[in-house]
Amino acid sequence: MTDPSTDGLESIQRPVAHLRAKATALLLFTLALIAGSALYLLHARGVFEPTQQLVLVADDSEGVAVGMDMTFSGFPIGRVRHIGLAPDGNVHITVDVAQRDAHWLRTSSVFTLVRGLVGGTAIKAYSGILTDPPLPDGAMRPVLRGDATAEIPQLMATARELLGNLRALTAQDSALAATAANAQALTERLQGPGGALGLLMGNERDARKVLATLERTNALLARLDGMAAKADTQVFGAQGLLPEAQAAVAQLGGLLQDTRASLRKVDAVLAEAQAVGANVRAASTDLGALRAEVEANLRKIDALLNQVNRTWPFARDPKDLELTLP
């Protein structure tokens, strides 16, 4: 019978078959996994994508590092590949922009280099008009710097000035304190016997006079209301002036109608009188013509008698002969 402990030792000491091959395979698998992960990371970072270069010109490269992103609307579209100092003393920042994102950059695009209070420096691109021509490969554009920390001293100075103004406003001898005291005195006077009226008039005596005047005015208005009611009853009531006036107007209307009828009768009489007058004028005209004819005949008879008297043996003194015409 064998000892179990002895069998365990023998199994541990027994060599593993193909140990070298298995170790080599494991090492190769690990290297392949590392290489695949690296390639995936490089592909994810856009290393294998076609790019175009953009050179940003700045006066200072503080906070800029190789490999940092250039963003557009919060999305990375490029990466800093090189930072160099130009002969003119400016800093040239070379950025690789993926061609699939290069259409966001236009000739009118603006590039900024901003350093915030918290965090590092960021390169940002802004394109206001996307219909402008696209930015060519190798273009050089200036960078506008924006340093939030540079405004901290100005903000501190402004805060100090604001605190000084607040301290001056809240001082005991300040205009605000005097205004508050005046407002308190005004409130006390408003709460006094005279109230707002006493405050406006300046003293309580004048306020009482104004109140008395208002009371008399109210009484006068009440009397005027009573008088207006009485006048309304006298004018518009059942026994008032208005019904009587309406009756008189009705009677006057009847009289006017009678007068119109009388005027029509007078018009008819006048028309008849005019007709009679026309007939009389015609008769008068005929009488005048008849009278003229009679006078003409009498003149002829008178002339004939004169001629007979002048003829012998009827001749006589003409002075004794006299013919009287009607």
pLDDT digits (tens, 9 = 90+) for 192-215: 665 565 556 566 666 677 777 888
Rounded to 10 degrees, the C-alpha dihedral 289/290/292/293 comes to: 120
Neighbours of 78 (CB within 10 A): 27
Top pLDDT among 265 and 68 is at: 68
Pairing of strands 75-85, 91-98: antiparallel
Q: Which whole-number Å values give the CA distances from 120 to 18, 45, 71, in the listed order? A: 54, 20, 14
The model carries a pTM of 0.39
Answer whether 54's CB lies under 8 Å from 109's CB: no
Q: Give me 296's structure tokens.
A: 């003409």
Q: Which residues make beta-bridge pairs with 96?
A: 53, 79
The mean per-residue pLDDT over the stretch 156-164 comes to 83
> What stretch of H or E contains 79?
strand 75-85
Q: What is the mean pLDDT of residues 136-156?
A: 76
Give CA–CA dist 144/128, Å, rounded.
16
Q: Give the Cα separation of 298 and 292 in Å (integer).
A: 10
Distance CA 182, CA 185 (A): 5
Report the pLDDT averaged over residues 226-245: 70
Percent of the chain residues topping a pLDDT of 70: 64
Q: What is the number of other CB atoms lying within 10 angstroms of the CB of residue 106?
A: 17
pLDDT for the residue numbered 235: 65
Rg (CA), the chain: 68
- Using a 10 angstrom Cβ sphere, with 0-12 exposed, 13-18 middle and 19 or more buried, the burial of residue 208 is middle
Cross-strand bridge partners of residue 134:
106
CA distances 126 to 21, 51, 104, 184, 208, Å, are: 58, 19, 9, 57, 75
Please check whether residue 125 is in contact with residue 134, taking contact to mean a CB–CB distance below 8 angstroms.
no
Q: Terminus-to-terminus CA distance in the chain, angstroms?
A: 214
> What pLDDT, on the 0 to 100 scale, is given for residue 220?
86
